[in-house]
A and B are shown apart, each in its own frame.
Chain A
């Protein structure tokens, strides 16, 4: 099959818009990232390897990816519920809750970090309940997860809302008429229909979690090997004027993130192909 770069479209301007896209992406994304790579090249391979395989760095990678992943998973589940409530039901205060969802977007991350730390620390409202039963939240990986969950919630909710809005009620009724129970209707009919949006929301929340700094540094306690996230390590390297070392850590982070996001995108397009299969409706 011949590869077609451009499909016929009645709208002109492909050349212009494509050129603009490339230019813009280069200026805003690619050039700074390339600079990052070049800076890290000032290290020898040996130095580079030593920096990124430092035990503290490795621990931070593991913690950051795990925390971001689990937080995104939690958000996928609870964000789904929030989006479902907001789309499907009418209740007093709905607009208020809808606005509340965006708050983690709007709040300066440091502010949310301090607020979360206050609540979850030993004397905080929630911390004082959890601490006696042996659950340590602030200054532990759990605290990091809480912060990342807080930060990522709007991504899942906002990606899911339009998809849930588009769901055809008749399809659910059809499933029920055919004898499916609630759970079967959910995982056989509703979930596959909104899966692409759920994946998008998950990917966005995950990506946001990987790079998060402000809200985490307060609640994590920043104990080396235990609660130190990668962005914090990068900042501390920068504070020690070790620019090359900071970029080395960043480059590895960047590559892993990119590969993971690419995988999620591939998964999504595979799923889209399967669902839509050439047809529009």
Chain B
């Protein structure tokens, strides 16, 4: 079932949670709503679920079968960040809940419910703990029960609100992969909310990046990562170094570096009808190179402040000659070759094509 969101706006008092959201989620997709906290992603999810009402706009569900949206209303699976399991019911009863509350006419028999629950528990690998209570389970186990409980009602749409947010890194990794696999198996239209860009990139086949109640970009993980629509998206989707530059006479100046930069590439500020003279420049840490001597034009001097060699890459914190702090990531081989030490003066260089520049100041 596909979901079409028309002009949804929502205010909480003076705070605008959602500002005219339009979004189309095709059947069978696994979509991530990604954004910093307070960007409205959870509110949007709750509106889709019907747990919250929008001030304006509407959510439409369209399927290839003939159910009315009212019936669909009961077929939306919602998974909560803090699991929201029924504490006084054991795992089996939790999963069976959705089956047992059905009207008598459409309710399965006791034996059928039992079969169904156990097959779901097998799916989430919780079969052996069916008589345990939520209080006796770990966070990851609880979330798996919550998922099984939702799957029991055979949802047409699966909505997950930061499903792995309260779990530790290891379990999160594991459950992410598991969710991806599960989606590949059952192909139910799914939307999950996350503030973790890595999670969104790894699991979703469509990422919706949100900021301050608006959608910044919709695209595949590759698209949003490699072709970010805005400085915000570039900034949010990975570690960045952020510089403020000035634009003058076809040149962009960042600290002591100057580069050719055709001014017409930058957007005209519509309010003042005058070209912006400032720009924000982003650069990913792994796109920076470190040398002991200057190599090509766009390089600058910097001093090493801190070295962290624990990890697949060596993280080096530097201070540029004009005072900005910078993070660079280089390979262990390069690190050994250069024999870098703390407080060493080095040259940092980068490729001009790798810069991401937006007009105006963005902090």
CB of B134 within 8 A of CB of A279, answer yes
Whole-angstrom CA separation of A177 from B82 in the bound complex: 15
Task: Tell whether A9 is near chain B: CB-to-CB under 8 Å.
Answer: no
Whole-angstrom CA separation of A276 from B86 in the bound complex: 11
Which residues of A have CB within 8 Å of B150? 177-178
Which residues of B have CB within 8 Å of A279? 87, 133-137
Which residues of A have CB within 8 Å of B98? 178-180
Between A and B, 15 residue pairs with Cβ closer than 8 Å are: A168-B84, A174-B78, A174-B86, A175-B86, A175-B97, A180-B101, A188-B86, A188-B97, A192-B86, A276-B133, A278-B136, A279-B135, A279-B136, A281-B87, A281-B135
Closest approach, in angstroms, between the C-beta of A56 and any C-beta of chain B?
A: 46
Beta-carbon nearest neighbor of B132 in chain A: A277
Task: Tell whether B163 is near chain A: CB-to-CB under 8 Å.
Answer: no
CB of B101 within 8 A of CB of A178, answer yes
Task: Tell whether B74 is near chain A: CB-to-CB under 8 Å.
Answer: yes
Beta-carbon nearest neighbor of A192 in chain B: B88
Task: Tell whether A4 is near chain B: CB-to-CB under 8 Å.
Answer: no
CB of B84 within 8 A of CB of A170, answer yes
Task: Tell whether B51 is near chain A: CB-to-CB under 8 Å.
Answer: yes
Whole-angstrom CA separation of A192 from B85 in the bound complex: 13
Whole-angstrom CA separation of A168 from B76 in the bound complex: 20
Residues of B within 8 A of A (CB-CB), count: 27
Using a CB–CB cutoff of 8 Å, the interface residues on chain B facing chain A are: 49, 51, 74, 76-78, 80, 82, 84-88, 97-98, 101-102, 133-137, 146, 149-150, 152-153
CB of B88 within 8 A of CB of A170, answer no
CB of B134 within 8 A of CB of A173, answer no
Closest approach, in angstroms, between the C-beta of A36 and any C-beta of chain B?
A: 40
Which residues of A have CB within 8 Å of B136? 277-279
The digit string for A249-281, where 1 denotes a CB below 8 A from any CB of B, is 000000000000000000000000011111111
Interface residues of A in 119-143 (CB under 8 A from B): none
Which residues of A have CB within 8 Å of B74? 179
Check A181/B88 contact, CB under 8 A, given A170-B80, A173-B51: no
CB of A174 within 8 A of CB of B102, answer no
CB of A178 within 8 A of CB of B149, answer yes
Which residues of B have CB within 8 Å of A178? 97-98, 101, 149-150, 152-153
Determine which residue in A168, A174, A180 has the highest number of CB atoms from chain B within 10 A of its CB, and name it: A174
Beta-carbon nearest neighbor of A179 in chain B: B74
Task: Tell whether A103 is near chain B: CB-to-CB under 8 Å.
Answer: no
Whole-angstrom CA separation of A176 from B52 in the bound complex: 13
Closest approach, in angstroms, between the C-beta of B115 and any C-beta of chain A?
A: 19
Whole-angstrom CA separation of A189 from B77 in the bound complex: 18
Which residues of B have CB within 8 Å of A180? 97-98, 101
Closest approach, in angstroms, between the C-beta of B257 and any C-beta of chain A?
A: 52
CB of A177 within 8 A of CB of B76, answer yes
Whole-angstrom CA separation of A174 from B87 in the bound complex: 12
Whole-angstrom CA separation of A274 from B88 in the bound complex: 7
The digit string for A3-30, where 1 denotes a CB below 8 A from any CB of B, is 0000000000000000000000000000
Beta-carbon nearest neighbor of B52 in chain A: A173
CB of A276 within 8 A of CB of B101, answer no
Interface residues of A in 160-218 (CB under 8 A from B): 168, 170-171, 173-181, 184, 188-189, 192-193
